Structure 1
Amino acid sequence: MQRTLYFIRHGEPRETGRLLGSTDMPASASGNEQVHVQLEACDGIAQVIASPLQRCQAVARAFCETTGLPLQIEPRLSEMHFGDWDGERYDTLWQSARVPGIGDFWQSPWQHTPPNGESMSAFHLRLYDWWQQFTATPSPINAAIVTHAGVIKQLLAIWLALPEGYDTHLSRLEIGYGGMIQVSVYFDEHGQVWPKVVF
C-alpha cells in the first residue's frame, strides 16, 4: 500500500525579519496565495492537515471550504517555540549579548536551548511521536500538510533516519515560503513504513 503526502511551508508572513516560532502572525495575502496554488497542485488528496498557527491554518481552512475536503488541525505540527526570542527581530537578536545567543543556537541547536523556549530534543520528539502515530495504521489516503520550515526539516531527519542530534542539514537546507516537499509512504506486508522523499 502507498500514500502520497505533500508537506507545504506556510506563505510569506505579513511582517518578515522576525523569528516566528509560536508567534501567531498571519500570512500576507500573497503568502496565502502561494500556499493555495500549491494545494491546488496536490494530486488526488482527500485530506488537509494544518498547524494551528494562523499562517498555516487560515489558507488551509479557506481551501477546504471551497473544495469540501476535511481539515484536521494538529498542534504537534506547530513551529518550534523560541521562548524569549519568539517574535523578536533578527537584527535585535544578533546584537544581543545574552548567553546563549542566537548564534550559539544556530551553530549547535541540540546543545543550546532558547531562553524559556523549547529544546531541540523536545521539538524532535513531538514530531517523531506525531509521525509514528500518523503512520501507525496503513492508509491509502493522500494528504496535504501545511506547516513550518522547522517542522519539515525535523521530519526530513526522521524520514532519512539521520541520527538524533544531527543538525548539519538544518542550516544547509532552505525551504522557501510556500515551498513543497512530496513524500511517498510505502507500507509493506508487515505494516512497516518506508518513507521516500520525492524530488
Structure 2
Amino acid sequence: MQQTLYFIRHGEPLETGRLLGRTDMPASVSGNEQVFARLQVCDPIAQVISSPLQRCQTVARAFCESAGLPLQVDPRLSEMDFGDWDGQSYEALWQSTQSPGIGDFWQSPWQHTPPNGEQMSAFHLRLSDWWQEFTTTPSFQSTAIVTHAGVIKQLLAIWLGLPEGFDRHLSHLEIGYAKVIKVIVFFDDTGRAWPKVVF
C-alpha cells in the first residue's frame, strides 16, 4: 500500500524581506493564485491539510471549496516561532548587535534560539510527532499539505533519516514560494511507513 503526498509552500507574502514565523501575514493575490494552480495540477487530491496561518489556510480553503473537499487545519504545521525576531525585517536583524544574533542562528540553529522563540529541538519534535501520527493511521489517499519552508525542511530531515541535531541541510536547501515537494509513502506488512522524496 502507498500514499502520495504533496507538500506545498505558501505563496509570496504581501511583504517580503521579513522573517515570518508565527507572524500571520497573508500571501499576496498572485502568491495564492500560484499555490491554487499547483494544487489543481497535482494528481486528484482527496484531502487537504493546512497550517492555520493565513498565508497557507486562505488558499487551501479556497481550493477545498472549489473541489468540494473538507479542510483539515493543524497548528503543528505552523512555521517556527522566531520570538522577538518574528516579523522583523532581515535588514534590521542583520544590523542588530544583540547576542545571539540571526547569524548565529542561521549557522547553528540547534545551539542558538531566537530570543523568546521556539527551540529547534521543540520545532523538530512537534513535526516528528505530527508525522508519526499521520503515518500511523494512513488514508492511502492523495493528500496536499499547504505549509511553510521551515516545516518542509524539518520533515525532509525526518524522511531522510538525518540524525537529530543535524542542521547543515537547512542553509543548503531553498524551497521557493509555491514550490511542491512530492513524497510517496510505502507501507510494509507491519504498517511501517517508508517515505520516498520524488524529484
TM-score range, shorter chain: over 0.9
Matched residues in 2 for 1:131 and 1:18: separation? Answer: 28
State how far apart, in whole Å, the 2-side matches of 1:45 and 1:84 are.
38
Amino acid at match of 1:186: F
Alpha carbons 1:2, 1:139 under 8 Å: kept? no
CA positional deviation for 1:163: 0.3
Aligned position for 1:139: 139
Match of 2:83 in 1: 83
Q: Give SS of 2:136's match.
A: coil
Q: Match of 1:128, as an amino acid?
A: S
Shift of 1:138: 3.5
| Distance in 2, Cα, partners of 1:102 & 1:11 | 24
What's the secondary structure of 1:135's corresponding residue?
A: helix
Q: How does 1:36-185 map to 2 (within 5 A)?
A: 36-185=36-185
Aligned equivalents of 1:70 and 1:135: distance in 2? 20
Output the CA distance in 1 between the equivalents of 2:188 and 2:51: 29
Q: Percent identical across equivalent pairs?
A: 77
1:162-198 CA deviation, whole Å, 9 max, x = no partner? Answer: 0000001100010000000000001011111100000
Shift of residue 44 of structure 1? 2.1
Structure 2 stretches lacking a partner, 5+ long = none
Q: Distance in 2 between matches of 1:140 and 1:36?
A: 23
The Cα RMSD (Å) is: 0.5
Paired AA for residue 72 in structure 2: Q
Matches within 5 A, 1:20-35: 20-35=20-35
Aligned length: 199
The superposition leaves residues 13-68 of structure 1 with CA deviations (integer Å, 9 ceiling, x where unpaired) of: 00000000000000000000110011001102100100000000000001111110
Compute the TM-score of the two structures, normalised by the length of structure 1. Answer: 0.99
Which residue of 2 is the match for residue 190 of structure 1?
Answer: 190
Q: Is the 8 A contact 1:36 1:59 kept in 2?
A: yes
TM-score by length of 2: 0.99
Where do 4+ consecutive residues of structure 1 move more than 4 Å?
Answer: none
- AA paired with 1:114? P
Offset of residue 140 of structure 1? 1.1
Shift of 1:139: 2.6
